[in-house]
Structures are given as structure tokens and as C-alpha cells.
């Protein structure tokens, strides 16, 4: 297993591909939770999806531009590390809001777009799911961790791996 990880982290393009795969898997899990299981995301959940999409973009750019040299791949590996670390910070903030350690700076965390006449506005309010950032829609039945808690752990591990891959891509 160690040799396998060393092989991936030692090859910048392969590492970018692996980080893109991990990001795609995280996004797939989020969309499955939302659309298959009805766990509608709050605003902070949506914000946590953006870094995964950025990592996929960095991987495409790093793999495409890094064919002749490791410099572009190394740059995008560094950006990937920063992006995963930023996502861990967002997830940590979300965890604090969920656990009521601090209030969210986003009032209510979900504000529907209210357009049209009063009948249309009332219909939009009734149709839109109100999802608050300070309510935990799902916790692990064994450990009691929320999706934001798992996102912290996942992103920290990926950020560390991306730093290692960046350092090895010389």
C-alpha cells in the first residue's frame, strides 16, 4: 500500500488525476445524498462543493499543460493543496455552526429568490426547502460525525497528500 501511494504521489500528473478522482467522488457523494436521499444542502454545504470543482479544473490544466515539464503540474498541485486546506477551513466553520459553537454569518443560511407577484412569491417559499446551516441533517450512526466533520478529515488528508506530491514534483 505504501509503495502504491508513493508511486501516485511521486508522479505529478498521476497525483493530479488521483486528486481529481477523489474530488469527483466527493461531489458524487454530495449529489447522491441530495438527490437520492433528499438531504438538501445549506449554503455552507454548497460552498464546500466549490473547492472540489476547482481541484478537478486544476487537474485538467495541470495534466494538459504539464506534458513537457513538471512545472505546471507542480503549480497546480500546490494550488490543489491550498484548495483542499481552504475547504477544510470552510468545513470547520460549518462544523462550528452545526454544533452551535458560534452563529453563522449567513442569516438563516438559505434565502430563496423572491420574484414575481405575491402569489408567485408564496408558491416559491412553499416549494423551496429551507435548510439551515445550524441543523445537522445526517450523522454517522457509529461515531456521530456529520458530513461537514467528515469533509474536514477528508480535505486535511488530501491537503497533506497534495503538499507531499508538490514537494516530490521537482
Write the CATH number for 28: 1.20.1550
Residue 117 lies in a domain: no
Q: Rounded mean pLDDT of the chain?
A: 88
Residue 56 lies in a domain: yes
Residue 57 lies in a domain: yes
- Residue 33's domain comprises 2-104+134-168
- Taking the model in full, what pTM does it have? 0.85
- Can you list the alpha helix ranges (DSSP code H) found in the chain? 2-10, 12-35, 43-65, 71-98, 118-127, 147-168
The Cα 166–Cα 61 span in angstroms is 15
Residue 121 lies in a domain: no
Q: How many domains does the chain have?
A: 1
Residue 116 lies in a domain: no
B/e letters for 48-62, b = 16+ CB within 10 Å, e = fewer, are bbebbebbbebbebb
Residue 124 lies in a domain: no
Residue 144 lies in a domain: yes
Residue 146 lies in a domain: yes
What pLDDT score does 151 carry? 97
Model pLDDT for residues 92-117, shown as the tens digit of each residue? 999 999 999 998 887 556 455 556 67
CA dihedral 32, 36, 38, 43 (to 10 degrees): 20
pLDDT range class, residue 129, cuts 50, 70, 90: low
Amino acid at each position: 500500500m505504501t509503495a502504491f501511494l508513493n508511486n501516485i504521489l511521486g508522479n505529478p500528473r498521476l497525483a493530479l488525476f488521483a486528486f481529481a478522482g477523489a474530488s469527483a467522488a466527493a461531489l458524487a457523494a454530495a449529489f447522491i445524498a441530495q438527490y437520492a436521499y433528499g438531504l438538501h444542502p445549506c449554503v455552507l454545504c454548497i460552498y464546500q462543493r466549490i473547492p472540489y470543482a476547482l481541484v478537478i479544473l486544476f487537474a485538467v490544466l495541470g495534466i494538459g499543460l504539464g506534458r513537457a515539464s513538471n512545472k505546471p503540474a507542480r503549480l497546480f498541485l500546490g494550488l490543489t493543496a491550498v484548495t483542499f486546506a481552504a475547504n477544510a477551513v470552510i468545513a470547520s466553520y460549518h462544523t462550528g455552526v452545526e454544533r452551535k459553537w458560534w452563529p453563522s454569518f449567513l442569516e438563516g443560511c438559505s434565502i430563496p429568490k423572491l420574484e414575481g407577484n405575491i402569489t408567485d412569491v408564496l408558491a416559491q417559499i412553499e416549494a423551496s426547502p429551507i435548510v439551515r446551516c445550524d441543523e445537522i441533517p445526517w450523522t454517522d450512526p457509529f461515531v456521530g460525525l456529520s458530513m461537514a466533520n467528515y469533509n474536514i478529515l477528508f480535505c486535511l488528508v488530501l491537503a497533506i497528500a497534495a503538499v507531499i506530491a508538490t514537494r516530490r514534483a521537482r
